[in-house]
């Protein structure tokens, strides 16, 4: 896998796994790759994978069975969506609104397109 420099690698792995879950590639309640497997697959250090999994566990997206592995939480899609939603509102939306005002795009114009 290729990583971009604008974000940390462990964060990009979190985003990648979250996307796999949302699209159903990693189904709810299924086991995901072990830390060592994922590290080999991604070509990164196992410690980096561990950091990603730990964060996802704290966010309630995955959970751990001792001696077995990590599993996708039942509510994982909900948590992921909520997180994406919050990030979007915090980062992308303000930037876009700023751009709209700069280009003098009317609010009504936006409303028209939204309703369609």
Partner DNA sequence: GTGGTCTAGACCACC
Partner DNA sequence: GTGGTCTAGACCACA
The piece of 17-25, 44-52, 83-91, 98-106 that touches DNA (CB under 7 A) is 44-52
Mask of contacts with DNA, 1-40, x by CB under 7 A? -------xxxx----------------------xxxx---
The rounded distance, in Å, linking the Cα atoms of 70 and 56 is: 10
Q: Which two tokens mark 110? A: 């936006």
The rounded distance, in Å, linking the Cα atoms of 51 and 106 is: 44
Residues 16-50: b if buried by 16+ CB within 10 A, e if exposed? ebbeebeeeebeeeeebbebeebbeebebeeebbe
The piece of 13-21, 29-37, 67-75, 78-86 that touches a second copy (CB under 8 A) is 78-86
Q: Which residues bind a second copy (CB under 8 A)?
A: 81, 84-85, 88-89, 92-94, 96-97, 99-100, 103-105, 107, 109-111, 113-114
Q: Which residues bind DNA (CB under 7 A)?
A: 8-11, 34-37, 44-48, 50-51, 53-54, 57, 64, 66-70
């Amino acid at each position: 896998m290729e990583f971009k420099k604008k974000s940390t690698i462990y964060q990009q792995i979190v985003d990648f796994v979250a996307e796999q879950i949302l699209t159903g590639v990693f189904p709810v309640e299924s086991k995901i790759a072990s830390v060592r497997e994922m590290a080999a697959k991604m070509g990164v250090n196992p410690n980096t994978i561990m950091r990603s999994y730990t964060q996802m566990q704290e966010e309630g997206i995955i959970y751990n069975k001792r001696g077995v592995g990590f599993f996708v939480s039942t509510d994982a899609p909900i948590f992921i969506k909520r997180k994406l939603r919050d990030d979007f509102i915090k980062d992308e939306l303000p930037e876009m609104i700023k751009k709209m005002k700069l280009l003098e795009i009317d609010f009504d114009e936006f409303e028209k397109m939204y309703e369609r």
